[in-house]
Amino acid sequence: MINDFGQMALVSILSHLVFIAISWWALQAVRLDKLLRPNHVFQARLLYILLAIFIGSSVSNFFLDYLQWSKQLPLIFN
């Protein structure tokens, strides 16, 4: 039982990191520089980072919820 918590923690950490990296990569295709003020490079980078974390965490939470629900699905038939 305790071993499952450790495995789930590792999967959660890796999932969040992977989906944040994918979100960062996908955000590079969006031209947000047209919406931002010129000479505000630090704020623009911070916005990209925060958006990547927000999107990546949301997608990761969906993935982890789906994984947990699929593990609990066989309990219906007990």
For 15-51, write each residue's pLDDT tens digit: 999 999 999 999 998 887 777 788 888 888 899 999 9
Contact 44, 32 (CB under 8 A): yes
Q: What is the DSSP string of 33-64?
A: GGTSPTT-HHHHHHHHHHHHHHHHHHHHHHHH
Q: Which residue has the tokens 């520089």?
A: 33
Q: In 3D, which of 63, 68, 72, 69 has the Cα closest to residue 15?
A: 63
For 51-69, write each residue's pLDDT tens digit: 999 999 999 999 999 999 9
